[in-house]
Amino acid sequence: MDITLDKFRSVIDETIERRFATAADRHSITLADVCDSVCAAIKKHFVNSKTPPEAAEIRHFIEELSADDLCLVIACRRGSESAWDELFRLFQPVVKAIAYRVASNIDAAEELAGSVWGELFGIRSDANDRATGKLAYYSGRGSLGSWLRAVTAQLAIDLHRENSRFVQFAEDRELESAAEISLTQQTIRPTNRNPEEAVLELRAASDVSSAVIAAIKLLEAKDRLILKLYYFDGLTLKEIGQVLDFHEATASRRLARIQAEIRSSTERILQSEFGWNDSEIRNYLAETAERIGPGLEKIVGGILISIIVQGLNLLSVQ
Residues 237 to 276 in contact with another protein, rule: CB under 8 A: 237-239, 242-243, 245, 252-253, 255-257, 259-260, 262-263, 266
Stretch that binds another protein, among 13-21, 25-33, 192-200, 307-315 (CB under 8 A): 307-315
**Which residue in the set 21, 25, 55, 93 belongs to the binding site for another protein (CB under 8 A)?**
93
User: CB of 129: closest distance to another protein in angstroms?
Assistant: 25
Closer Cβ to another protein, 82 or 232, answer by number: 232
Q: What is the dihedral of CA 55, 60, 63, 64, to 10 degrees?
A: -140
Amino acid 76 reads: C
**Which residue in the set 28, 30, 125, 236 belongs to the binding site for another protein (CB under 8 A)?**
236
> Could you say whether residue 304 binds another protein (CB under 8 A)?
yes
> Could you say whether residue 43 binds another protein (CB under 8 A)?
no
Positions 198 through 217 that interact with another protein (CB under 8 A): 208-209, 212-213
Closer Cβ to another protein, 184 or 194, answer by number: 184
User: CB of 85: closest distance to another protein in angstroms?
Assistant: 20
Positions 158 through 177 that interact with another protein (CB under 8 A): 161, 166-171, 173-175, 177
> Could you say whether residue 285 binds another protein (CB under 8 A)?
yes
User: CB of 271: closest distance to another protein in angstroms?
Assistant: 16
Closer Cβ to another protein, 30 or 161, answer by number: 161
Closer Cβ to another protein, 15 or 139, answer by number: 139
Count of CB atoms situated within 10 Å of the CB of 289: 10
The partner residues of 125 in beta bridges, in order of sequence, read 131
The partner residues of 131 in beta bridges, in order of sequence, read 125
**Residue 94 exposure: Cα atoms within 13 Å on the Cβ side:** 17
**Residue 191 exposure: Cα atoms within 13 Å on the Cβ side:** 16
Positions 70 through 89 that interact with another protein (CB under 8 A): none
Cβ partners under 8 Å of residue 20, min gap 6 = 31, 34, 38, 67, 70, 71
Rounded Cα distance between 91 and 127, Å, is 28
> Could you say whether residue 187 binds another protein (CB under 8 A)?
no
Positions 102 through 121 that interact with another protein (CB under 8 A): 102-106, 109
Amino acid 36 reads: D
Closer Cβ to another protein, 200 or 300, answer by number: 300
193 — phi, psi (to 5°)? -80, 170
74, 140 Cβ separation under 8 angstroms: no
Closer Cβ to another protein, 195 or 293, answer by number: 293
Tell me the CA end-to-end span of the chain in Å, nearest whole number: 85
Cβ partners under 8 Å of residue 22, min gap 6 = 67
